[in-house]
Amino acid sequence: AQSVTQLGSHVSVSEGALVLLRCNYSSSVPPYLFWYVQYPNQGLQLLLKYTTGATLVKGINGFEAEFKKSETSFHLTKPSAHMSDAAEYFCAVSATSGNTGKLIFGQGTTLQVKP
Amino acid sequence: NAGVTQTPKFQVLKTGQSMTLQCAQDMNHEYMSWYRQDPGMGLRLIHYSVGAGITDQGEVPNGYNVSRSTTEDFPLRLLSAAPSQTSVYFCASRATGENTEAFFGQGTRLTVV
């Protein structure tokens, strides 16, 4: 069965510091991976996705993620945090067994950005 | 282009009451899903649909019903509300294909007292 684990439910960084949010997945087939962001009192919106091809994926708002098959990881990074990046972030993998349209989510990481 | 629209945004129910959370999408997506979000538990799948007339249970279906009579609409029914159903509910839609992204509504914050 596929699963996603996000290491660290809360991450705190200073403004201008590197942001690193960790995501590991479990999948017996090549995965399709996604990062979503949720700002307070809003729905989820897509930051970026990995399907095939280049393993370094660039997304919106300066975020990027690297797919590492050997480490079964898809960590999200941003070189310099802004106050506006404070939000909850979810990693997800697309279920590949059967035609279900399901996404399997990690438990989320809340990013706090300190001035 | 409205995307995924959920109504209502907020709702307070008394234990035992029933209600329907509405979800509509205008992107002609075949896949639609309902999730609930609780602190520390991420998003948990309640029910999903792969097309009109086809629905199936997710990981936490008890106490909820769904139907999919049209491609556009996917309502979620709470039959007899319980305090354990206090949560934030999200509807999502996706085009067919495992590499497609899901689009989410703005959520419904439900409190059962």
- CB atoms B48 and A106 under 8 Å: no
Separation in Å, CA A52 to CA A29, A34, A69, A84, A100: 12, 12, 12, 30, 20
Query: A20-42: per-residue pLDDT in tens?
Result: 999 999 987 878 999 999 999 89
Q: Determine, for residues A9 and B40 on separate chains, whether the beta-carbon distance falls below 8 Å.
A: yes
Across all residues in chain B, what is the average pLDDT?
95
pLDDT at A1 over 90: no
Chain B CB contacts of A43 below 8 Å: 4, 90, 104-107
What was the pLDDT predicted at B1? Answer: 63
Please give the residue of chain A at the shortest CA–CA distance from B49. Answer: A100
Cα–Cα distance, A20 to B68 (Å, whole number): 40
| Angle at the Cα of B112 from the Cα atoms of B109 and B113, rounded to 5 degrees | 135
pLDDT of residue A31: 86
Question: Could you tell me which residue, A92 or A2, shows the higher pLDDT?
Answer: A92
Task: Report the alpha-carbon distance of residue B23 to residue B6 in Å, rounded.
Answer: 5
Ramachandran assignment for B89, one of left (phi > 0), alpha (psi -120 to 50 degrees), beta (any other): beta
Q: How many CA atoms lie within 13 A of B11 on its CB side?
A: 25
Residue pLDDT, tens place only, A62-104:
999 999 999 999 999 999 999 999 999 999 998 877 777 889 9
Query: Residue A41's pLDDT is what?
Result: 87
Nearest CA in chain B to A101: B31
Three-class secondary structure of residue A107 per DSSP: coil
